């Protein structure tokens, strides 16, 4: 099979592949803001930005009846995301799903053409080993929790139709633990933007998630976080 893939790539006649950059982190950690800043600095003519939060399996209304939140891997098309990351890393276009955060609905997909640099941002771009293998550079954003929470409440209320008491779910509702994007046995990101304390916590051996975590059994998932 590997030699067949090589032959197919040669037949396509593609030139240099794009540089792949992943920006991961909890909800409202600043991923989209950093991505937009990079595109503005390096030039939109050279940059392709992709948000993998668009790979939600269910819209907001459908998730109301599910035992997990949009942050959980089971609530996302991880396999499709992996396929698309591989294609982008080889310089191939993709037809990417689109999730409208303002309405909570899945809308018409969009064609994405990779340019010199591809920035992939979201909750789960580093969730699997295959996904991580697609990137040249990986960044994990981990701002202080009080700051991140204030960003999140402000964004969810201003742009996503939530009230302060029902702001969308986060990973960090419990004690410090390894970020779900990297996996318990995965190598850490090439760059870490956060406090030394949070980074030290993420490098400790994996331990069970707290009851308030989105990965906890369905019966313990807060109803407001669905």
Could you tell me the residue ranges of all domains in the chain?
Answer: 14-203
36's tokens: 């937009």
**Average confidence (pLDDT) over 20-35:** 90
Predicted confidence (pLDDT) per residue in 8-17, tens digit: 666 665 667 8
Burial label, 68 (beta-carbon count in 10 A; 0-12, 13-18, 19+): buried
- Strands 191-194 and 137-142 come out as parallel
Q: How far is Cα 73 from Cα 76, in angstroms, rounded to an integer? A: 5
pTM of the prediction? Answer: 0.69
Over 80: is that where the pLDDT of 226 sits? no
20, β-bridge pairs: 118
Is-contact 100 108, C-beta < 8 A?
A: no
Is-contact 184 220, C-beta < 8 A?
A: no
CATH number, domain 14-203, options 3.40.50.300, 3.30.870.10, 1.10.640.10, 3.10.129.10: 3.40.50.300
CA atoms within 13 A on the CB side of 161: 7
Q: How far is Cα 199 from Cα 178, in angstroms, rounded to an integer? A: 9
Q: How far is Cα 165 from Cα 125, in angstroms, rounded to an integer? A: 28
Q: Which of 101, 52, 105 is nearest to 79 (CA)?
A: 52
- In this predicted structure, what is the pLDDT of residue 47? 96
Q: Say which DSSP state 224 is in.
A: G
Over 80: is that where the pLDDT of 130 sits? yes
Q: What residues contact residue 205 under an 8 Å CB cut-off, 6+ apart? A: none
111's tokens: 């064609």
27 SS3 class? coil
Under the banding of pLDDT at 50, 70 and 90, the label for residue 146 is confident
Highest mean pLDDT among 8-17, 135-144, 172-181 belongs to: 135-144
Per-chain mean pLDDT for the chain: 75
In the sheet with 47-51, reading across from the earlier edge strand, the strands are 47-51, 117-122, 19-25, 137-142, 191-194
Task: List phi, psi (to 5°) of 129.
Answer: -60, -40
178 vs 74, which has greater pLDDT?
Answer: 74
Over 70: is that where the pLDDT of 51 sits? yes
């Amino acid at each position: 099979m590997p030699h067949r893939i090589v032959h197919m790539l040669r037949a396509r006649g593609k030139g240099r592949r794009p540089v792949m950059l992943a920006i991961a982190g909890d909800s409202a950690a600043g991923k989209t803001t950093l991505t937009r800043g990079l595109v503005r600095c390096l030039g939109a003519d050279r940059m392709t930005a992709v948000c993998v939060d668009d790979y939600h399996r269910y819209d907001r209304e459908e998730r109301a009846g599910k035992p997990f939140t949009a942050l959980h891997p089971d609530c996302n098309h991880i396999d499709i995301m992996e396929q698309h990351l591989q294609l982008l890393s080889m310089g191939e276009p993709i037809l990417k799903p689109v999730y409208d955060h303002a309405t909570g609905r899945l809308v018409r997909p969009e064609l994405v053409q990779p340019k010199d640099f591809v920035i992939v941002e979201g909750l789960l771009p580093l969730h699997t080993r295959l996904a991580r293998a697609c990137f040249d550079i990986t960044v994990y954003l981990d701002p202080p929790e009080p700051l991140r929470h204030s960003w999140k409440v402000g964004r969810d209320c201003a742009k996503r139709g939530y009230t302060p008491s029902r702001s969308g779910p986060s990973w960090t509702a419990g004690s410090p633990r390894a970020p779900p994007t990297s996996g318990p046995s995965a190598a850490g990101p090439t760059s870490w933007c956060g406090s030394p304390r949070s980074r030290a916590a993420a490098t400790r051996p994996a331990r069970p998630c707290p009851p308030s975590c989105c990965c906890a059994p369905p019966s313990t998932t807060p109803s407001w976080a669905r």
